Structure 1
């Protein structure tokens, strides 16, 4: 989304392509036309993402006028329609409320309304259900699935909640210490995990139909962000299957099936 300043967030390698066009090297003015219209984002904490000194309506209407070029009256009608779409009751009244007047679940729905207001092609959802109770979480997930289908939209869903991922996603990329270590179709990742970290993650999920005295844990700690290993696999110091090559060798994604890749030397023979 290029929302962070370059001194703390930059691309050192590779490139980003969207709809067949490279976008990491375009001008800020070009990106402004895309951001919010073709690319949109739901942030993790709506209370800090929404501006506390403007009403919900002001924040929705500003974006709609900017990208859809509607009159203020039409933009307000569109904003009320969006609030209704995301399941907010009394939308015509709530539109004039400030963020602090709404519950966490309502604010998250407003964030979703903001994100989909211009019917983007890609929606990035960063932990959109973390701060919500289970009932509201289920409602938000159903809403996202409904919006995705209605708007023919793609969603990148970022989460540590494996149950949510298994419910919502078609494909999964598992990350550890900033690197993608396994990627594939959701069913395949959950049923046949290959990387020792993915396997340990799935083993650590409690199962309702199994009695156990002790939950599975992953021993050790994640490397410090300011002191990452310079070479080898970043999971090596915690991996039960570690080999000498894991600490020094190149660790890139290897194709082990038509839709399944893993960054692990256990599969070098493949």
Structure 2
């Protein structure tokens, strides 16, 4: 039996970048967390410790900061594309560059004053090879809740089932969604906001008999409204809310007082895709 080196990559993870764009007295603010991963002809460093094909990860960090100064920073997709193409074009031994960006939003309070927005984080993953480019945008930590218009019944029951059926429940989740673009050019901000709005509106307006049904509705709404997107991948944890038993205190609880559960939780995952688009050029679930 032979033991061989399998797929591998390396890079600099979570380079924190804050870029202030100064336009007179009015400033712009961009706040990114940037990760770079390279793959290609890197077997020698694993097999013999030969680092002649290894660009130091410290150089990747420095590139992030230098590019932020030289090129400015706008949409995360644009910045990630710039970085990924740079590493593939300048490093002969690199076949693929993957750049991941978390974008933290700040709301303007004045010409040079801001307040950090904490309701969700915008995400971007760009993968550039010598043949293809793939752009995946998304959002994580988007917490949504419907206090009614949700049921759950008719499910399988076995000897370990204790969950009662219900025709009235709270439905809450923290959305982790990614959507793959059909090309590497788009109005990135408009596309992101449009996908976010479509997903949120579907959650609000779907009478849910299961979180799976809601997932499909959200993904369908995104693809129906955003022709530049090929597919959407959603992970929806079920943020359980349990009715509190108030009977020991002589009080009725008519779906008004709940315990917000932490863990364990149900996790619903699925992909909604067009049936006429080319497959992904690189893994984009990871």
TM-score by length of 2: 0.24
**Higher share of residues assigned strand:** 2
TM-score by length of 1: 0.25
From the CA coordinates, give the structure whose radius of gyration is larger. Answer: 2
**Higher share of residues assigned helix:** 1
